[in-house]
Structure 1
Amino acid sequence: MIQLLKKDNILIGKNHLLFILCTIFISLPCILLGVEAAGIYVFSSILVFFIVIIGSLLSDREQESTNFLLTLPISRKTLVLSKYTSSFLVALENWAVTSIILFLFTYFLPKQITLSGFNLLLGLVWTIGLLIFTLSILLPVYYAFGNKAMRWVILVPLILASFSSQFFNSDFFQELLIQVTKFSAYSLITIFLVVSLLIYGVSFIVSLLVIKKKDF
């Protein structure tokens, strides 16, 4: 298990610097434009998803790492568990790196941005929740169909985003917003995180069933 995590870390290592540079590049104009810290965490999550996680999965598939690992005395459960664990660790690392970058900006640009404990907590929940929710859909498709299907899955949120303005202006969304505001911020954060983790667990089971039945 540890060796598999090290393998994933090596695969994504070359993308770490690119992610950090892109996060700095995105964060500075966001701060100057008055974007809240939570929004910057969302942007960094999108960056780490495309630069680090997708890059790792594509490299894995191109090098046929999964096929090779299955020739070794490694169970398929361990193989899938290591991928889900490494992806979760990437989400935590993304939060830590983004927090450090924001702390540096608060030192050099104190009038533009401030960080509180709630901002950090919200950033942690957004980072973990958004990434593992997306990965919950992506990883089973990756194990079942490979890179081609994975590319189509990536397009889905982009297509949905084009219709987001209509959804946000709908009566359904306005009613949903009224109901949501009845809960406290901490309650919403907890619910979002717990639901995301549960979905991630279900996704792991689905991926495990897929890879057990698949003949590589």
Structure 2
Amino acid sequence: MWRLVWKDMMVQRGPVIALVAFVIYLASAGMPTFLVFLFGMLMAVTGVVLRAISRDEENETLALLATLPVSRKEIVMARYVGTVFVMLVSILFSYIVMTIAKGGFIPIGSLFNSIGVPVVIILSLAAVLFPIYYWLGYDAMRYVMTGLIFLAAFLALLTALPMTQLFFRWLEGIGFNLILGIAVLISIVLYFVSMRISMRVLDFTDL
């Protein structure tokens, strides 16, 4: 399984180099910690994982792997584990860059707030997109992803409404860290459930 994970990393050197330069630029430009983690993590996952899927689709790698002495369960696990690995590496790298840029360590509370939202976004998106990819193919996954991007843009516009601002104040009164922690736990559970679904789907998919 780990060879499959490493395969995706090795064929995506270009996006990795671009990610390194992008995070360093954001940190040196004085961007807020939250935005550095958000853009860095999202760019890492989309640039490495999704491009790896696109390349696998072009080369029909999934069908080739199915003919090798590798179980379909391992193929799916490699994709999910690889996504988490890329996310964790991007967190570590962004943290190191921000620590150097700010000249000191980031407090644990601020760090959790900075990485919590991107973690929820990435795990939730992957939990939705990966089963679609294994069931309906890359094109269907791409269409759904485009729809989710437009949905995210629409939700971002809603944040300017007075009712939305009242809702945010209500969340702050309850405790943002508590809500974020619950959201992270839910996204992790959904991610594992999604992996099990993808395993079952690929078992019954004709490659």
TM-score, normalising length from structure 1? 0.84
CA deviation vs aligned residue, 1:74-107 (integer Å, no higher than 9, x gap): 2211111111011011110110111111122113
Report the counterpart of residue 196 of structure 1 in structure 2: 187
- Which segment is superposed worse, 80-89 or 38-47? 38-47
Unaligned runs of 5+ in 1: none
- Pairwise CA RMSD of aligned residues? 2.3
Query: Mapping of 1:158-197 within 5 angstroms?
Result: 158-170=149-161, 173-174=164-165, 176-197=167-188
Report the counterpart of residue 93 of structure 1 in structure 2: 89
1: distance between equivalents of 2:110 and 2:12? 27
2: distance between equivalents of 1:75 and 1:172? 50
Quick check: 1:41–1:127 contact (8 Å CA) kept in 2? yes
- Which segment is superposed worse, 171-180 or 66-75? 171-180
Change (3 A) 1:27 1:146: farther
- Please state if 1:133 is matched with 2:138: no
Report the counterpart of residue 20 of structure 1 in structure 2: 20
SS state of the match for residue 173, structure 2? Answer: coil
- Please state if 1:2 is matched with 2:2: yes
Question: How far did residue 58 of structure 1 move?
Answer: 0.9
Quick check: 1:84–1:204 contact (8 Å CA) kept in 2? yes
Report the counterpart of residue 153 of structure 1 in structure 2: 144
1: distance between equivalents of 2:16 and 2:156? 33
Change (3 A) 1:45 1:156: farther
Question: How far did residue 163 of structure 1 move?
Answer: 2.1
- Which segment is superposed worse, 122-131 or 141-150? 122-131
Quick check: 1:144–1:214 contact (8 Å CA) kept in 2? yes
SS state of the match for residue 67, structure 2? Answer: coil
- Which segment is superposed worse, 91-100 or 184-193? 184-193
Question: How far did residue 53 of structure 1 move?
Answer: 1.8
Structure 1: which amino acid aligns with 2:129? L
Structure 1: which amino acid aligns with 2:64? F
Report the counterpart of residue 76 of structure 1 in structure 2: 72
Question: How far did residue 182 of structure 1 move?
Answer: 3.1
Report the counterpart of residue 133 of structure 2 in structure 1: 142
SS state of the match for residue 68, structure 2? Answer: coil
Identity of paired residues, percent?
Answer: 21
2: distance between equivalents of 1:166 and 1:125? 21
- Please state if 1:11 is matched with 2:7: no
Question: How far did residue 68 of structure 1 move?
Answer: 1.1
- Which segment is superposed worse, 131-140 or 168-177? 168-177
How many residue pairs end up in the alignment? 207
Report the counterpart of residue 211 of structure 1 in structure 2: 202
CA deviation vs aligned residue, 1:21-51 (integer Å, no higher than 9, x gap): 122233433x2xxx43112211212211321
- Which segment is superposed worse, 80-89 or 138-147? 138-147
Change (3 A) 1:119 1:66: same
Report the counterpart of residue 102 of structure 1 in structure 2: 98
Quick check: 2:8–2:49 contact (8 Å CA) kept in 1? no
Quick check: 1:41–1:126 contact (8 Å CA) kept in 2? no
2: distance between equivalents of 1:165 and 1:63? 37
